């Protein structure tokens, strides 16, 4: 069973994504901001995949994405961005920084599953 962390400042969104992930037979962890999620990684936490919101207070999801991708130890961590931001420039920036997928809120379970499967495939893993 895969463990997927959700980093989002919206508790309702976290609950919705957790429910979808449970239906996909995944375990979840969640963080309400990028700082606590980054600290959990630094403390040795190792999810199988990270779902990361862009618009969060203090540290944005793009900043956290860049932080993760600058560390060789976490290059194998699949990351899917989940955001209300649908502008091509934002999507392109996330992908150029190393995101493996990008989906817009509100999310449907089919698109979430597809994005997760594709992100895992990029890292030679399966859901």
Q: For residue range 26-72, what is the model confidence (pLDDT) as tens digits?
A: 999 999 999 999 999 999 999 999 999 999 999 999 999 999 999 99
Q: Quick one: which of 70, 82, 66, 21 has its CA closest to 47?
A: 21
Does a structural domain hold residue 107? Answer: no
> Edge-to-edge, what's the strand order for the sheet holding 101-104?
27-31, 3-7, 49-52, 79-83, 101-104
pLDDT category at 16 given cuts 50, 70, 90 is very high
**% of the chain with per-residue pLDDT over 70:** 100
pLDDT at 70: 96
Stretch 97-101: mean pLDDT, rounded?
98
Mean pLDDT of the chain: 96
- Tell me whether residue 106 is in a domain: no
Range of the domain at 93: 3-80+87-99
CATH number at residue 53: 3.40.50.2300
The proportion of the chain whose per-residue pLDDT surpasses 90, expressed as a percent, equals: 95
Whole-structure pTM value: 0.95
What total number of domains does the chain contain? Answer: 1
Residue 89: what pLDDT?
94
């Amino acid at each position: 069973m895969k463990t997927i962390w959700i980093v989002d400042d919206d508790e309702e969104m976290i609950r919705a994504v957790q429910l979808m992930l449970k239906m996909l037979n995944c375990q979840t962890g969640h963080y309400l901001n990028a700082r606590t999620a980054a600290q959990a990684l630094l403390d040795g936490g190792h999810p199988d995949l990270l779902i990361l919101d862009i618009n969060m207070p203090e540290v944005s999801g793009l900043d956290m994405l860049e932080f993760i991708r600058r560390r060789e130890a976490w290059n194998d961590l699949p990351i899917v961005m989940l955001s209300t931001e649908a502008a091509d420039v934002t999507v392109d920036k996330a992908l150029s920084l190393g995101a493996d997928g990008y989906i817009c809120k509100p999310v449907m379970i089919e698109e979430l599953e597809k994005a997760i499967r594709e992100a895992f495939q990029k890292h030679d893993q399966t859901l």
